[in-house]
Amino acid sequence: MQEGANHWLCVLLTAVVCPLLFSACSNDLKKIREISNREVNSPADTTRGVDAIYSDSAKVKARALAPLMLEYAPSKDIKEEYKLMPKGVTIIFFDEHQKETGRVVADTAYFYPLRKLFNLRKHVVITSIKGDVFTSEELNWDNGTDKITTNKPFEIKRANGDIGHGTSLVTNGRFDHYDVTNQTGIFTINRDLGQ
State pLDDT tens for residues 135-167. 999 999 998 888 989 999 988 898 888 898 888
Percent of the chain at pLDDT above 70? 70
What's 153's domain CATH number? Answer: 2.60.450.10
Claim to verify: residue 86 and residue 147 sit in the same structural domain? yes
Claim to verify: residue 53 and residue 36 sit in the same structural domain? no
Structural domain count, the chain? 2
The answer to the question of residue 36 being in a domain is yes
pLDDT average, residue stretch 85-90: 96
Distance CA 101, CA 92 (A): 8
Confidence tier at 31 by pLDDT (50, 70, 90) = low
* Three-class DSSP category at 66: strand
Longest alpha-carbon distance in the chain: 123
Residue 56 has pLDDT above 70, yes or no: yes
- SS3 per residue for 67-93: EEEEEECCCCCCCCCEEEECCCEEEEE
Name the pairing type of β-strands 117-128 and 108-112. antiparallel
Claim to verify: residue 88 and residue 171 sit in the same structural domain? yes
- Identify the residue with better confidence: 185 or 85: 85
Claim to verify: residue 144 and residue 128 sit in the same structural domain? yes
On average, the pLDDT of the chain sits at 80
Query: What was the pLDDT predicted at 84?
Result: 95
Claim to verify: residue 57 and residue 144 sit in the same structural domain? yes
The answer to the question of residue 116 being in a domain is yes
The boundaries of the domain holding residue 13 are 1-40
Residue 171 vs residues 20, 84, 106, 147: alpha-carbon distances, Å: 65, 24, 17, 6
The answer to the question of residue 107 being in a domain is yes
* Three-class DSSP category at 173: coil
Residue 39 has pLDDT above 80, yes or no: no
